Structure 1
């Protein structure tokens, strides 16, 4: 894997040395489109746009890219397999009555929360679960928010998406505020491995799989 720099400052020299046959871009990189086209052909797709389901956009992008590459049957198979895997994940979850906070901890006092317009929120709905965060989000997530915001829906389950900063993990374990939240007291918290919040269908499938497994294990433990 080649390090091509940060999203806001791509390393064109390293990209050129990689000799790509095709560059798959997005609307975020229109400002460097001319530079990219000097290196290789460019196709651009958008998955994250206001008012648009990111999951459906990811399906459309997969099919469009498959057609462009002459791999339309494979793209259709992957789209179908993704839908099937999420449906299977949904069936693993027995209790769907509680709303879910989908959060990523920034430090011991703040977090970002993923709304219904995020890929995580979109998949959550496809799993038959409701998102505890219904306020507006920006680029599919809202941040930074104080931990106190979690008390707005005390009956919710909290799903923490890694990574968790080491200092936050240690501090929260000793925090009276954290321990006072109903979800913490009652064991309604699961911690998930890292998932790309701005990924496409592979990220959606991974999120559905690990969340359903975590909730299923919790149901078995508490049952």
Structure 2
């Protein structure tokens, strides 16, 4: 009887030890995947990594990042290593596990590889032609794989799509065309059309985009305001970084009053809580701010 009890106790102890070892290994791997700092000097990459649960993301130009994300992210999850470019000494001190670059940053890859493994994100959504929304989804999945956060990437995609469906149900079905612009000065603008995040989100919300002209890889064209004269659409202005308040002055401008939306007084000015060529986090913040504005009656 004592011998049998001894055998049972030994087997039970081995089983308990095996369980502890399994959870110790699993916890260590999970901790490593979320706590290893990753350098990302492109806003769409950086904001997506934060949403995927990477606890420390190394960026440049923190003030600009905070402006275009509406201060959505805790300072504890962000480290800055230079302005306007990365300070190599600071970057070496932070010691990132890897550096992820956008295609437009490929020229920096060799230099940054001296600090940590550096790679260009092939699934970057604004480097090839095709459906922007699908590219944003593939971009998110790709970053999840690179950051070893694939479950979090799946969750982010599902959560974003669920939220957009909810927002779409709040949008009127008359499909009044929207004209998305960003003011460069009182006479010149960026107008967003095909290949833009704004257009992709509009389609997800069931909204129409009035601009059908050519656009660049970021989805906008830079034109004079006269190109918008007589366009029957509701004007949606995205606040600029250095706008000096010109968005609020257009209603008093004789030039801008050629636009029907300005004459009607139903212009929408959106806050700078999203990047115009961002990832899914920016896409959702844009959608939320747009739908909220559409639900707000114009001021008399």
Q: What TM-score, normalized to structure 1?
A: 0.87
Matched with 1:97 is 175
Does 2:238 correspond to 1:161? yes
Q: Separation in 1 of the partners of 2:248 and 2:129?
A: 38
Q: Separation in 1 of the partners of 2:248 and 2:236?
A: 18
Q: Displacement, 1:27?
A: 0.9
Q: Displacement, 1:156?
A: 0.3
Does 2:94 correspond to 1:15? no
In the alignment, is the contact (CA less than 8 A) between 2:229 and 2:258 conserved in 1? no
SS class of match (1:23): strand
SS class of match (1:205): helix
Unmatched tracts of structure 2, length 5 or more:
1-78
When structure 1 is superposed on structure 2, of 91-100 and 161-170 the one drifting more is 161-170
SS class of match (1:20): coil
Matched with 2:83 is 5
SS class of match (1:5): coil
Pick the aligned partner of 1:118 from 170, 175, 196: 196
Question: How many residues are aligned here?
Answer: 217
Q: Displacement, 1:179?
A: 2.8
Q: Separation in 2 of the partners of 1:2 and 1:96?
A: 45
Does 2:299 correspond to 1:214? no
Relative to structure 1, the CA distance from residue 26 to residue 87 in structure 2 (aligned partners, 3 Å threshold; closer, same or farther) is same
In the alignment, is the contact (CA less than 8 A) between 1:54 and 1:122 conserved in 2? yes
Pick the aligned partner of 1:80 from 158, 178, 185: 158
Q: Displacement, 1:147?
A: 1.3
User: Can you list the C-alpha shifts for 1:129-183, whole angstroms capped at 9, x where unaligned?
Assistant: 111111111121111x111111252x20111001372262465243122234211
Higher-RCO chain (CA-CA 8 Å, sequence separation at least 6): 1
Q: Separation in 2 of the partners of 1:103 and 1:43?
A: 33
Q: Displacement, 1:47?
A: 1.4
When the two chains are superposed, the root-mean-square deviation of aligned CA atoms in Å is: 2.2
Q: Which is greater in Rg?
A: 2
Pick the aligned partner of 1:200 from 279, 282, 289: 279
Q: Separation in 2 of the partners of 1:108 and 1:133?
A: 19
Pick the aligned partner of 2:213 from 108, 129, 135: 135
Unmatched tracts of structure 1, length 5 or more:
none
Relative to structure 1, the CA distance from residue 167 to residue 189 in structure 2 (aligned partners, 3 Å threshold; closer, same or farther) is closer
